[in-house]
Amino acid sequence: MKQKFWIGFSSIEQIDSAFVRSLYEYFGDIERAFNCSKKDFSEMGDIEINEKKLDNFLRLRDKIDPDKTSDEVEKRGIKVLTYDDEKYPKMLREIHNPPAVLYYKGDLFSCNLDRTVAFVGSRRASTDGRDSVKRIINDFRNTDICIVSGLAEGIDAVSHRSAIENNLKTIGVIASGFDFKYPSSNRDLYEKLEQGDGAVVTEYYPTFEPIKFRFPQRNRIVTGLSYGTVVGEAALKSGALISANLTLEQGRELMCIPGSINNKNTEGVYKLLKNGATMVTSGEDILNALNWIINTEKTDTKTSSSLPLEYSTLLDIIEVEPCGFDKLQSASGLDTEELLKTLTLMEIEGYIEQTDGDRYKRGKQRR
């Protein structure tokens, strides 16, 4: 079984995917690449590979038992996809530096890898930014579109949760091995994705820690798996802008959600928009940008014509911004008892959410 040699390579922290692929392509066989000697290179001609990296690999390789590293992965219940596997995601294979190995938990192939869109953004996302992402992802409810993100706090977490709430598959790409769940606040998300709502994916051997430099490396997989990337919120210096640049380098569609000009986290967004990124304010904008057609018959989102008149009236009132009880009563003409009853039912059914005390905003269930 050749897979164990790919795993053996990936268990060495000091080498990267580019090095592994170089050896694999040179020898044409992963087992031979793993067991190579320096003499092989002198006999077979030139190879564009750093000699110091090669010496370092040969020294570390002698300490690796491929059978043992493979067993460690198997006993953790981790599935493996290698660069030479025909099931390796085609979009990821096309990027400049595709991972040599993908480790995953969950059901990766229940996700439609031909309908993948990434959502990235600030870890300290504003309420407006979070709501915008929720609103757009809600437009894809019950379709086969797959949401890809990085399982971080903020926009990432909102994207994954919104996907699950709208019966979409979602892929979370992490910057460590599976021995770590970072951040701990997203443990429930890890579990949901691993148990059937999608998959958690990483290029890192299980024992590799979530070190700072691995997060930008992780971003190339988020964007690489996706046909396009949507930036929710991004400061001028942020990981989301790294993802945006990677998206352009990979020849994929870059899209941005506009936000308040008073928000520091939208400065990067407006810079991208000024430089030609596609502005999106709805799911339809994403479909148009990617030239996708989805089967709207599969959705169960209720239309305004199917809603009670009181629901439609109140939703129209809070179309732009949250409203307090007094304003809703004045604008709707409903008496106090009827308004309280309607607001309670709408909140239970997910049409509205309470915020800032007695103010109400649109909820996850849109018309």
DSSP, collapsed to helix, strand or coil, labels residue 209 as coil
Q: What is the pLDDT of residue 42?
A: 67
Q: What is the DSSP secondary structure assignment for residue 253, as one 8-state letter?
A: E
Closest by alpha carbon to 200, among 227, 220, 180, 229? Answer: 180
| Domain ranges for the chain | 1-73, 108-298, 304-362
Neighbours of 96 (CB within 10 A): 10
Mean pLDDT, the chain, integer? 90
Instruction: Name the pTM for this structure.
Output: 0.81
Mean pLDDT (whole number) for 201-222: 97
Looking at domain 304-362, which CATH architecture does it have?
Orthogonal Bundle (1.10)
pLDDT digits (tens, 9 = 90+) for 93-150: 999 999 999 999 999 999 999 999 999 999 999 999 999 999 999 999 999 999 999 9
Tokens of 306: 């199917």
Whole-angstrom distance, CA of residue 287 vs CA of residue 246: 21
Instruction: pLDDT band for 366, please (50, 70, 90 cuts).
Output: low
Q: What is the DSSP secondary structure assignment for residue 252, as one 8-state letter?
A: P
Q: What is the DSSP secondary structure assignment for residue 213, as one 8-state letter?
A: T
Q: Dmax over Cα atoms in the chain, in whole Å?
A: 90
Domain 108-298 has CATH 3.20.20.140: no
CA angle 360, 366, 367 (to 5 degrees): 115
For the chain, the first-to-last Cα distance in angstroms comes to 53
Instruction: pLDDT band for 299, please (50, 70, 90 cuts).
Output: very low
Residue 362 has pLDDT above 50, yes or no: yes
